[in-house]
């Protein structure tokens, strides 16, 4: 992406923010209340998670993450977006 002036930068940033909000909104609308992540979460995503009243838990160990998913009956997702009813724990 080539940014030539401040307006291009603002438009790019606004587009990224809109996309991040759309992802978090779809997760919140699916009925999810807690999101468990296996790595870092971008600040903009944390901002929108707070806005939509979602709790974010970071579990750095992939073994602990797998164990937690098994305990609550959830499936680990590698994609962004709302989970289906079968994927939620």
Span 58-74, pLDDT tens digits:
999 999 999 998 998 88
Q: Identify the pLDDT of residue 5.
A: 85
Tell whether the model's pLDDT for residue 87 goes beyond 80.
yes
Strands (E), 15-63: 34-37, 55-58
Domain count, the chain: 1
- Look at residue 17 and tell me if it is in a domain: yes
**Other C-beta atoms within 10 Å of 57: how many?**
11
The parent domain of residue 12 ranges over: 6-72
- Look at residue 78 and tell me if it is in a domain: no
Domain holding 52: CATH number?
Answer: 3.50.7.10
The position carrying tokens 């939620």 is 88
| Average pLDDT over the chain, rounded to an integer | 90
Q: Identify the pLDDT of residue 1.
A: 66
Q: Tell me the per-residue pLDDT of 29-50, one tens digit each, with 9 for 90 and over.
A: 999 999 999 888 999 999 999 9
Q: Identify the pLDDT of residue 80.
A: 84
């Amino acid at each position: 992406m080539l940014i030539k002036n401040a307006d291009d930068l603002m438009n790019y940033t606004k587009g990224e923010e809109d996309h991040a909000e759309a992802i978090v909104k779809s997760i919140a609308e699916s009925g999810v209340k807690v999101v468990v992540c296996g790595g870092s979460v971008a600040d903009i995503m944390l901002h929108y998670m707070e806005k939509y009243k979602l709790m974010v838990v970071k579990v750095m160990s992939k073994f602990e993450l797998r164990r937690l998913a098994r305990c609550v009956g959830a499936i680990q997702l590698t994609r962004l977006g709302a989970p289906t009813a079968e994927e939620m724990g």
